[in-house]
Amino acid sequence: MRALPARRLASSALCATLLTAVAAPTALAADAGPAREQRARSAPRAPLPGADGLAAQARSLGDAGGVLAAITPLLDAALKADKGQLAKDQATKLAAAVQDAIKKATAATTPTTPTTPTAADPAAPTAPAAPASPAAPGLTKGGQAGTAAIADVKAASLAALQKAVDGLAAATTSGDPAKVAPAATAVVAGEVNVLAATLVGGGLPAPDLPGLPKPPSAPAAVPPAPAAPSLPAAPAAPAAPKPATG
């Protein structure tokens, strides 16, 4: 009869051993999980080659797509409304959504000017002397001047599109159905201009779909101003007459 408690103790010890063997690896793995995540977060990350350029291209397309997506509800509402007329609050709400999208795209298009450190800051390095400007600088597509020119074209296309959207919003509340179709046509033309400016000046890769015509390229340079004509030479003074002898 005394063997039963011993067997029970042995069984309990065996169960405890089995539980420890099963639970220990799980507990260790649970403890090691946060440590691995912490090491992964603190480890230096190598940037993907060309990631900055690809991200800029994606943002450029995304900004243009955001503008087009905001215009579509306004166009649909105007073209499907009775005689092209909308309620004042509806037209204002749809036009405001387009304005917000255009402002966002314009802010992304505007190049940022780097700030020059002041001389009063002792830690600021001394700015190098500016190189001499050439006689007739050209706006190249790859230089800073060319980049600024392309940004100006994109900003101008967005401003023209905003003006066309304002015209459409006004036409849909004017009470004159004849004004809606021309205003909608101007908006669509403005969308095409924004897309063209984005594709040409957004640093995007050229399309490679077979059968597509070659897209236009950005202007490489501004032709130099013609040289000023030279003044004609002054005529020689006549010789003084000789005095008479005699």
Share of the chain above pLDDT 70, in %: 54
SS3 117: coil
pLDDT mean over 23-46: 63
* 6-15, 156-165, 237-246: segment of lowest average pLDDT: 6-15
Which of 100, 107, 81 lies closest to 168 in space, CA to CA?
A: 81
State the pLDDT at residue 132: 43
State the pLDDT at residue 148: 66
Burial class (CB in 10 A: 0-12, 13-18, 19+), 184: buried
CA 115 to chain centre: 21
Pick the CATH number of 57-111+139-201 from 2.60.40, 1.20.120, 1.10.3470, 3.90.1720: 1.20.120
CA distance 84 to 181: 8
Predicted confidence (pLDDT) per residue in 194-237, tens digit: 998 888 876 778 778 888 777 666 555 556 666 666 666 767 76
Give the CA count within 13 Å in the CB-facing half-sphere of 181. 3
Predicted confidence (pLDDT) per residue in 142-170, tens digit: 445 556 677 788 889 999 999 999 999 99
* Mean of pLDDT over the chain: 74
Residue carrying structure tokens 């940004």: 151
Q: Is the pLDDT of residue 122 over 60?
A: no
* CA distances in angstroms from 12 to 7, 8, 15, listed in the order given: 9, 6, 5
Predicted confidence (pLDDT) per residue in 45-70, tens digit: 777 887 888 888 888 888 889 999 99
CA 42 to chain centre: 31
Q: Does the CA dihedral 137-139-143-147 come out positive or negative?
A: positive
Length, in residues, of the chain? 246
* 27-31, 38-42, 227-231: segment of lowest average pLDDT: 27-31
State the pLDDT at residue 138: 35
Residue carrying structure tokens 């296309």: 157
Predicted confidence (pLDDT) per residue in 61-113, tens digit: 888 899 999 999 999 999 999 999 999 999 999 999 999 999 999 888 765 44
